[in-house]
Amino acid sequence: MAKFFNNREAVKFFFFHKMTLLEKTQKSADEKVFTLYKEGLFYKCYNEDAMVFTEKVKKYKVSARFIKTVGSQVLSLGFPLTVGGKNNLTLKTIALAVEAISFLEGEKSVVFMLKNKEVHD
């Protein structure tokens, strides 16, 4: 995934390409990034990213639906773009909660680069 962010065209593609739900669910399996997608008036995340969000950021209801085009059950959660104030939820607080080293905000998504997880035996 690191090469993905080194390639300017790939980054441009990721931020401006309309991703399918299948692509979003596949991306959620990458442990090096956490991604929120801007969909209408909401941020949404899927599968593994949805679980990370509820475990590390804030408890939200996770919806589960079988999606024919994906061929499996998809977990998702969404919250309004205008969060803040009473929820005190900003991109910076999310980045801290998921232990991101940085994040990139695009037109259609926000990608958080996560710290490398070291495996201890």
Region 80-91: what's the mean pLDDT?
71
pLDDT in tens, 13-61: 555 557 888 889 888 889 899 999 999 888 999 999 999 999 999 998 9
Contact present, 37 and 59 (Cβ < 8 Å): no
What share of the chain in percent tops pLDDT 90?
41
The pLDDT mean for the chain works out to 81
Say what the pLDDT of residue 2 is. Answer: 42
Q: How confident is the model at residue 66 (pLDDT cuts 50, 70, 90)?
A: very high
- For the record, the structure tokens of 115 come out as 């710290």
Report yes or no: 114 and 31 within 8 Å, Cβ to Cβ: yes
Token pair 């801290």 is found at 96
Mean pLDDT, rounded, for 59-79: 90
Q: What is the pLDDT of residue 67?
A: 87
The count of other CB atoms within 10 Å of the CB of residue 41 is 10
Cα(23)–Cα(107) distance, rounded to whole angstroms? Answer: 17
14: left (phi over 0), alpha (psi -120 to 50) or beta: alpha
- Which pLDDT score, from 0 to 100, does residue 41 have? 87
* pLDDT for the residue numbered 89: 81
- What does the buried/exposed string (b/e) look like for 62-92 if buried means 16 or more CB atoms within 10 Å of the residue's CB? beeeeeeebeeebbbbbbeeebeeeeebeee
